[in-house]
Structure 1
């Protein structure tokens, strides 16, 4: 009897060890895959970010749990305002959590960007961006975006870009980091786990957004046709 229990104990430990090894390999492999396949679509400096008509700004709390200013929030707002100022994006989709009346990420982003000089007509709020996946699914299905520039921190962008491209949106990423902020290990670990969970969302259990609703396409100002612009430029620079 003792030998039988010992044998089963060894088998159990070996099985648990094999599962732990498999989980570790999936964890590392999943993170490596997301990072490797998105690196070419991410730029670290705003002036190098690829222009797009619409930029998507991901929501986060205006304040930290300790009551201080959230540097991640302000880095995103600063980068988004810079992209508008430099005409690298024409419009911003502000997507965040608004599950209660007391917590409204899109409204906080709107106020901060307006304070930074972004015109109200260049801002659209998405109140049902409860997660990165929800934000991008709604960008495609509700706001009818086929291309966008994603604006968030460097640790978040690989997952966001990966989701967007897997959903069929032509997305690139623009890093919104604060050089004075060090990312803690808890945040890094949570993001590593989120990348692996994203692969499950996309390929295993077929995640759906929490709320979609009816389409609300973002309408941008119409540009003059190129054949009308060129004659006027030729006239302007023509020799006297």
Structure 2
């Protein structure tokens, strides 16, 4: 789907409700709920290294720059390239839809990057319909179910280090068994981007908890 990233106007009434509730919790706790989550995730992402082998590598896309992977996306793809060269049996699932009407999808641009560096097309699979991380990983789950006949395999999940806390939480929330793998070798994390990710992770956790408390299966289904 073309149209870039999804803003608040497109998340639906449930999303707006839980967004407001998440921010209310942050205000009522004087920021402590967000700060506690940030502190735990900050230590976690700095300690991460790339794990061992898995039959599938899942790579989260990033908005393209003039139809090509930008610096952050290139780091994710270079990390993936090393994983695929290390394990010739592994396959890769690239996630990400269209950044602009005239350009390729994020996943197609990633696939071209890997093919140009010697990875056979037979090992590369693309998901081109998603607009954001939740859709990325829901679609990844559904595609892997189709490819494996119903049994979800263990996967390595590659994305930027600052993005891993939210990506891993969502991946496990939709039923994927993932090992987090940061794109960057350096443990340093851009603090502004991590702060934004933790704010969104706080929203995700608040929404799941709220849906469970009121036993709203429809809300849970939309984020699972």
8 Å contact 1:31–1:196 — kept in the other structure? no
In 2 relative to 1, CA 68–85 (structure 1 residues): closer, same or farther, beyond 3 Å?
closer
Give the structure 1 partner of residue 80 of structure 2.
80
Which 4+ stretches in 1 moved above 4 angstroms?
32-36, 181-185, 207-210
Counterpart Cα distance in 2 of 1:128 and 1:58: 13
What pairs up with 1:211-222 in 2 under 5 angstroms?
none
State how many pairs are aligned: 185
Give the structure 2 partner of residue 197 of structure 1.
203
Counterpart Cα distance in 1 of 2:171 and 2:94: 16
Counterpart Cα distance in 2 of 1:34 and 1:63: 29
8 Å contact 1:133–1:209 — kept in the other structure? no
Q: Shift in Å at residue 197 of structure 1?
A: 1.7
Give the structure 2 partner of residue 51 of structure 1.
53
Give the structure 1 partner of residue 178 of structure 2.
171
Please list every run of 5 or more consecutive structure 1 residues that lacks an aligned counterpart in the other structure. 1-17, 211-240
Give the structure 2 partner of residue 63 of structure 1.
65
Greater RCO, CA 8 A, separation 6+: 2
More helix by share: 2
Instruction: Give the TM-score of the pair, scaled to structure 2.
Output: 0.69
Q: Shift in Å at residue 111 of structure 1?
A: 0.7
Moved more, 167-176 or 119-128: 167-176
Counterpart Cα distance in 1 of 2:52 and 2:108: 26
After superposition, the CA RMSD in angstroms is 3.4
Please list every run of 5 or more consecutive structure 2 residues that lacks an aligned counterpart in the other structure. 1-24, 146-151, 212-218
8 Å contact 2:63–2:69 — kept in the other structure? no
DSSP-derived class of the 2:168 partner: helix
Q: Shift in Å at residue 169 of structure 1?
A: 1.8
Instruction: Give the TM-score of the pair, scaled to structure 1.
Output: 0.65
8 Å contact 1:53–1:89 — kept in the other structure? yes
